A and B are shown apart, each in its own frame.
Chain A
Amino acid sequence: MKAVVLTAIDQIVYQQQPKPNVTPGKSLVRVLACGICGTDRHIYRGEYPSVKPVILGHEFGGVIETPAEGSKFSKGDLVSIDPNIVCGVCIDCAAGRTAFCPTLTALGVDIDGGLAEFVLVPDTQIYKVSDSLNPLHLAFIEPTACCIRGMDIADLKGREKVAVLGGGVMGQIVVQLAKLANASQITMVTRQQTRRDLAVTLGATDSVDPGEKDYAQKMGKYDVVFECAGAVETFNASQVIARRGGVIVVLGLTPEKTNVEFNPFHLVIKELRIQGSFLNPLTQRRAADLIDTGKLNLDPLISKVLSLDEVPSILNQSPADGDIKYIVKP
């Protein structure tokens, strides 16, 4: 089969390799769609740890090609994959904090992932979706599950003012989730005009260009700030925008060893809450069901549909201006 393999930092190849064989408890999935994520670029550049060599791709779904013996899945089932594999019995798993399971391994990071024609997946990671789902939308279930984790942390009760910093795929999904959660105002903050306009069509009430001078000071105060850009500048702006008693949810991946400053005095007098949101612990099913309902507008987020052989050159460069999501159809 064809696959995209990371062999070392900054080295990625498109190559032919053997199709995996079904083993007990693991079914073979034919990949129909795999998203390229910012994390893939971080892994490629060595900014996020991974095993090498490994087939990249952790946002994917497909059809069951060969079910494991005794599997509850059948050949032809349309399925979404949760790439994060945990033990399920350690103290963290038992407490629902599966993202911190010490044995956590991820398809597309530590084990071969979805940028291939086929992938061997433990049945525990497979979620069946309805046959009518657009297969390209399978690539959005994992990032949506991560955003749902962030929403759970934000704990919106309705009528909040929400700021979303970063207009990439996470930001654009968070905008839609905030709308579903009845936020009264949703402000998209991102540099590119096309991304701001897109957010407004998806449910943002307004948008702000962070290129404008003192934009954060002028924005007014927000109950919840989603930091989806993973940049020092946006982290700092979050602290200005959050109102007293407000919440800053850190969903964006800032490279390791990059530091920002916070003001502990303001943390006290404003009673701010700054909280990280990591991965998709126990949220994949909800994300799959939500996408199945059709309530998320995903087609405008698809900027390009690629074939596997195009992936190495794409990972090499930043996405073009205005582009949100590249999806690979292996």
Chain B
Amino acid sequence: MKAAVIAAPGKILIEEIEDPVPGDNDVVLEVAAVGICGTDLHIFEGEFAPKLPIVPGHEMSGTVVAVGKYVTDIKVGDAVAVDPSLHCGECFYCRRARGNLCEKWNALGVTFPGAASQFVLAPKKNTHKLPKGLDLKSAALIEPLSCAVRGFDQLPRNPGSHYLIYGSGTMGLMMAEMARVNGAASVSIVDLNLDKLETAKVLGFENLSQSADNFDQPRGFDVVIDCTGVTAAIKDGLKHVMPGGTFLQFGVASEGAKVEIEPFWIYNKEITIIGSMAVLHSFDRAVELFAKGVLNTEVMISDRYPLDKYADALAAFKSGKGRKTVVLPNG
């Protein structure tokens, strides 16, 4: 089969490699779509260094073409999406149901072959069947949506709350949609890029600005979510949390980033500052939400590339224009 292979930092090749063969508890899918995410870029640029070579791609959907001996509830022909997280199940964190913090964390597309290929192997326990009639080529959005669901699991999720979101890209817009389905009283979005705010407008969001100071929330917001990972945005966002409110760090900052805060303010306003890491027991709910149509896939996916153009897709993602970029390995 054909696959995109990151051979060394900065070097990606389209190669012919062996077709995967399912183990007893595995399935093999023909990949319909694989999304590109910051993690793929970090691996490509050598900032996040699993063992190379690796086939990237952890946001995937497809059709099952082979199943292992013990796989009974998933059949050849089923439409599926795959949770890429491979938790050891044995470490301190796994035994406390915090597998996303696993000490021996692995993932398809990061440390095991991913879906930037015509076929991919996945453990059956990671494989989620999709309802009939879903557009499989959009279903690669389920994995990032499951990260957004995890983010909301970290929040109080009180109905009638006012949400402020930094970043109107793919993840910011997903978080905004999540706020909506969680009964937000209002959703406000900040982005410096006016084109990105325009996209939020298309999705029906009204409180949009290049500066959070322009929103009429004198008490601050119940929940502020940073989806940028940019320290200036984080610092600004912290200012807009209402007393007793929560700041969620969702965007991944660079490793050495530092943000100044005033402990007196955390104490005196009882602010909660919390992080959210990847996916945790949230994939099945993301499938449900996606099937219900929570995401406008026409808007959320802005670019589609064939597998041969994987490097171009990565470059397009890096340019920061548009929303989700997906690669369609089988056309």
Q: Which residues of A contact B (CB under 8 A)?
A: 92, 95, 97, 99-100, 153, 227, 230, 232, 235, 244-245, 250-278
| B243 CB–A CB distance under 8 Å | yes
Given known contacts A244-B101, A274-B266, A275-B273, is B249 in contact with A267 (CB within 8 Å)?
Answer: yes
* Beta-carbon contact of B252 and A268 below 8 Å: yes
A-B contact count (CB 8 A): 141
Nearest CB in chain B: distance from A68 CB, A: 31
CA–CA, A263 to B275, complex, Å?
Answer: 11
Give the contacting residue for B260; candidates A227, A260, A278; CB below 8 A. A260
* Beta-carbon contact of B262 and A254 below 8 Å: yes
Given known contacts A256-B262, A268-B275, A271-B275, is B270 in contact with A277 (CB within 8 Å)?
Answer: yes
* Beta-carbon contact of B267 and A262 below 8 Å: no
CB-CB contacts of B254-276 with A at 8 A, as 1s and 0s? 11111111111111111111111
CA–CA, A261 to B256, complex, Å?
Answer: 11
Q: From B231, B266, B277, name the one whose CB has the most chain A CB atoms within 10 angstroms.
A: B266
A-B contacts, 30 listed (Cβ < 8 Å)? A92-B243, A97-B244, A244-B101, A245-B93, A250-B267, A252-B263, A257-B262, A257-B264, A258-B262, A258-B263, A259-B260, A260-B263, A261-B261, A264-B249, A264-B251, A267-B249, A267-B274, A269-B277, A270-B277, A271-B98, A271-B154, A273-B272, A273-B273, A274-B272, A275-B273, A276-B267, A276-B269, A276-B271, A277-B267, A278-B270
Q: List, in ascending order, chain A residues with CB within 8 A of B51's CB.
A: none
Q: List, in ascending order, chain A residues with CB within 8 A of B234's CB.
A: 264
* Beta-carbon contact of A268 and B273 below 8 Å: no
Knowing that A263-B258, A278-B267 touch, tell me 14 more A-B residue pairs with CB under 8 angstroms.
A97-B243, A153-B270, A230-B263, A244-B93, A253-B267, A256-B262, A264-B251, A268-B249, A268-B276, A270-B277, A275-B266, A276-B268, A276-B271, A278-B269
CA–CA, A273 to B270, complex, Å?
Answer: 12
* Beta-carbon contact of B264 and A256 below 8 Å: yes
* Beta-carbon contact of A271 and B276 below 8 Å: yes
* Beta-carbon contact of B275 and A269 below 8 Å: yes
CA–CA, A201 to B98, complex, Å?
Answer: 34
Q: Which 10 pairs show the lowest CB-CB distances between chains A and B? A: A267-B275, A254-B263, A276-B266, A264-B253, A100-B243, A244-B101, A261-B258, A268-B275, A274-B273, A275-B272
Q: List, in ascending order, chain A residues with CB within 8 A of B250's CB.
A: 268
CA–CA, A88 to B268, complex, Å?
Answer: 19
Q: Which residues of B contact A (CB under 8 A)?
A: 93, 96, 98, 100-101, 154, 226, 229, 231, 234, 243-244, 249-277
CA–CA, A17 to B271, complex, Å?
Answer: 40
Q: List, in ascending order, chain B residues with CB within 8 A of A258's CB.
A: 262-264
User: In terms of DSSP, what is the predominant structure of the interface of chain A?
Assistant: mixed
CA–CA, A256 to B268, complex, Å?
Answer: 10
CA–CA, A262 to B261, complex, Å?
Answer: 7
CA–CA, A258 to B269, complex, Å?
Answer: 15
* Beta-carbon contact of B273 and A262 below 8 Å: yes
Given known contacts A268-B250, A271-B277, is B257 in contact with A100 (CB within 8 Å)?
Answer: no
Given known contacts A258-B264, A268-B277, A278-B268, is B257 in contact with A263 (CB within 8 Å)?
Answer: yes
Q: List, in ascending order, chain A residues with CB within 8 A of B259's CB.
A: 261-264
Q: List, in ascending order, chain B residues with CB within 8 A of A251's CB.
A: 267
Q: From A92, A95, A232, A269, name the one whose CB has the most chain B CB atoms within 10 angstroms.
A: A269
Nearest CB in chain B: distance from A43 CB, A: 14
Given known contacts A100-B243, A251-B267, A271-B100, is B257 in contact with A264 (CB within 8 Å)?
Answer: yes
Q: List, in ascending order, chain B residues with CB within 8 A of A97's CB.
A: 243-244, 270
Q: Which residue of the partner chain B has the closest CB to A253? A: B267
Q: List, in ascending order, chain A residues with CB within 8 A of B253's CB.
A: 263-265, 268
Q: List, in ascending order, chain B residues with CB within 8 A of A270's CB.
A: 101, 275, 277
* Beta-carbon contact of A265 and B254 below 8 Å: yes
Q: From A97, A264, A273, A275, name the one whose CB has the most chain B CB atoms within 10 angstroms.
A: A264
CA–CA, A274 to B261, complex, Å?
Answer: 12
CA–CA, A246 to B6, complex, Å?
Answer: 35
* Beta-carbon contact of B101 and A254 below 8 Å: no
Q: Which residue of the partner chain B has the closest CB to A234? A: B263
